[in-house]
């Protein structure tokens, strides 16, 4: 904690912005491109606000510009830091200008790196955060890396990047080893790292010596012993056709004994089964008891990482992703300033989307009216032909 000492009094620490990247002019001096996949697969980027913006200069970001490419760009933080005993906000803004069929929109927050141009997908990172989609599989990633393993959340975070609007992603990493995730200012997760990411062996495991008792009843419903089949219940699905008659040329010596063909029984009600009632002996689903896991080793300070870089490391089938307003800070107010900028842009985007939708609806209506007009003219022409008299002929 940074302290300001004046006249013998210790004042609260000054809030720190470890990184603030809004992509003004000169961004190339801060970011390094990695060509680890080779020139043929390395994706180029553009410095642009895209097609829709509130302020063209303010809304400029880094846009992926080529389909079917790997994008690897990295920069150092303004102020490298350790997250130990800090509450830190990681936040950035993302827009897909066209539909994403397969590709990532996440960022990696990583340690210092001596040679930035050597960055690649195997480089060590601390946190990977953001949306990812391929086909029917989509999620918002929040992956921790402990220098040897990528530790995924046991249940996926929801995917919100399914349109062409801007979205803002915020991760709050807390010193009590919990995290909160917000998308567009809405909380989508708040919980313990230990309980939702398997940093270590679980504290408790099923007792391998425990077994289900022989008299354990795990059937919640049972047949009602008081229920009886009605006397008029018909279970015969087929019956002889009484209207059928033996063919005149039927020869029993050659054809055998004639039998009436079978037809569907109109009185058939299906197999009878007694109604179900709650089983009074039901004890619920049996589970073995839990015992302490002898392999469990507590991991302290799961929130603790040393941060020195932020990186874009994604594969995209569809380009057109604009990354903007990346901030890492311990001051929510600093991050909120960029949230307000996001809201201004989002309002413009939504208005434009509404306008485009109304335009398409109007064009569709005009096309339908034109088609109806052509059909009416064709009908009138056919009627005139039908009105031709024999005299005219």
Give the pLDDT confidence score for residue 371 in this predicted structure: 78
pLDDT at residue 73 is higher than 70: yes
Give the pLDDT confidence score for residue 111 in this predicted structure: 98
> Stretch 250-258: mean pLDDT, rounded?
86
> Stretch 193-205: mean pLDDT, rounded?
90
Give the pLDDT confidence score for residue 127 in this predicted structure: 98
Give the pLDDT confidence score for residue 388 in this predicted structure: 58
> Stretch 265-279: mean pLDDT, rounded?
92
Give the pLDDT confidence score for residue 147 in this predicted structure: 74
Give the pLDDT confidence score for residue 370 in this predicted structure: 75
> Stretch 36-58: mean pLDDT, rounded?
95
Mean pLDDT in the chain?
Answer: 90
Tell me how far apart the alpha carbons of residues 342 and 19 are, in angstroms, rounded to a whole number.
Answer: 18
Tell me how far apart the alpha carbons of residues 379 and 345 are, in angstroms, rounded to a whole number.
Answer: 51
Q: What is the pLDDT of residues 214-229, one digit of tens each?
A: 999 989 999 999 999 9
Which comes out higher in pLDDT, residue 58 or 248?
Answer: 58
pLDDT confidence band for 5 (50 / 70 / 90): very low
Q: Is 279:217 a contact under the CB 8 Å cutoff?
A: yes
> Stretch 103-114: mean pLDDT, rounded?
97
pLDDT at residue 391 is higher than 60: no
> Stretch 104-120: mean pLDDT, rounded?
97
Tell me how far apart the alpha carbons of residues 383 and 54 are, in angstroms, rounded to a whole number.
Answer: 57
pTM here is 0.74
Tell me how far apart the alpha carbons of residues 369 and 309 are, in angstroms, rounded to a whole number.
Answer: 58
Give the pLDDT confidence score for residue 13 in this predicted structure: 62
Give the pLDDT confidence score for residue 385 in this predicted structure: 66
pLDDT confidence band for 2 (50 / 70 / 90): very low
> Stretch 332-359: mean pLDDT, rounded?
94
pLDDT at residue 15 is higher than 80: yes
pLDDT at residue 8 is higher than 50: no
Map out the domains of the chain as residue ranges. Answer: 12-197+300-351
**What number does CATH give the domain 12-197+300-351?**
2.60.120.200
pLDDT at residue 1 is higher than 70: no
Q: What is the pLDDT of residues 133-182, one digit of tens each?
A: 999 999 999 999 987 789 999 999 999 999 999 999 999 999 999 999 99
What b/e readout covers 164-181, taking b as 16+ CB neighbours within 10 angstroms?
A: bbbbbbbbbbbeebbbbb
Which of 241-255, 278-292, 342-356, 359-373 shows the lowest per-residue confidence on average (mean pLDDT)? Answer: 359-373
Tell me how far apart the alpha carbons of residues 281 and 279 are, in angstroms, rounded to a whole number.
Answer: 5
Helix (H) or strand (E) holding 103: strand 102-104
| The token pair that represents 274 in the structure block | 């007694």
Give the pLDDT confidence score for residue 378 in this predicted structure: 67
Q: What is the pLDDT of residues 127-141, one digit of tens each?
A: 999 999 999 999 999
Q: Is 78:20 a contact under the CB 8 Å cutoff?
A: yes
Give the pLDDT confidence score for residue 299 in this predicted structure: 86
Whose structure tokens read 């880094």? 62
pLDDT at residue 124 is higher than 50: yes
| The token pair that represents 50 in the structure block | 């895209």
């Amino acid at each position: 904690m940074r302290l300001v000492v004046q006249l013998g009094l210790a004042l609260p620490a000054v809030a720190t912005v470890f990184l603030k990247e809004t992509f003004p002019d000169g961004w190339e001096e801060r970011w390094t491109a990695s060509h680890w996949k080779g020139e043929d697969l390395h994706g180029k980027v553009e410095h642009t606000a895209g097609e829709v913006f509130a302020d063209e200069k303010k809304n400029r970001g880094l846009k992926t510009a080529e389909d079917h490419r790997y994008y690897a760009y990295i920069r150092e933080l303004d102020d490298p830091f350790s997250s130990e005993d800090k509450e830190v906000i990681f936040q950035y803004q993302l827009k897909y200008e066209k539909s994403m069929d397969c590709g990532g929109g996440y960022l990696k927050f990583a340690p210092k790196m001596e040679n930035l141009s050597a960055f690649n997908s195997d480089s060590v990172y601390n946190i990977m955060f953001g949306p990812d989609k391929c086909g029917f599989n989509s999620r918002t990633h929040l992956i921790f890396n402990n220098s040897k393993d990528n530790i995924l959340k046991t249940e996926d975070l929801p995917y919100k990047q399914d349109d062409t609007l801007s979205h803002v992603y915020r991760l709050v990493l807390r010193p009590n080893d919990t995290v909160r995730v917000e998308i567009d200012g809405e909380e989508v997760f708040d919980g313990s790292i230990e309980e939702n990411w398997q940093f270590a062996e679980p504290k408790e495991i099923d007792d391998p010596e425990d077994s289900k008792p022989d008299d354990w009843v795990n059937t919640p419903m049972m047949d009602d012993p008081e229920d009886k089949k009605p006397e008029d219940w018909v279970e015969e699905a087929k019956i002889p056709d009484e209207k059928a008659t033996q063919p005149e040329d039927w020869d029993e010596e050659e054809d055998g004994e004639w039998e009436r063909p079978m037809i569907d029984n109109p009185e058939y009600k299906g197999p009878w089964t007694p109604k179900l009632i709650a089983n009074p002996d039901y004890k619920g689903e049996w589970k073995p008891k839990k015992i302490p896991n002898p392999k469990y080793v507590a991991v302290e300070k799961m929130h603790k990482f040393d941060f020195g870089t932020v990186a874009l490391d994604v594969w995209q089938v569809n380009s057109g992703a604009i990354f903007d307003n990346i901030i890492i800070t311990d001051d929510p107010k600093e991050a909120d300033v960029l949230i307000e900028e996001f809201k201004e842009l989002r309002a413009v985007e939504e208005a434009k989307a509404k306008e485009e939708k109304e335009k398409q609806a109007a064009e569709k209506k005009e096309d339908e009216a034109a088609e109806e007009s052509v059909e009416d003219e064709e009908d009138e022409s056919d009627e005139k032909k039908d009105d031709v008299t024999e005299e005219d002929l």
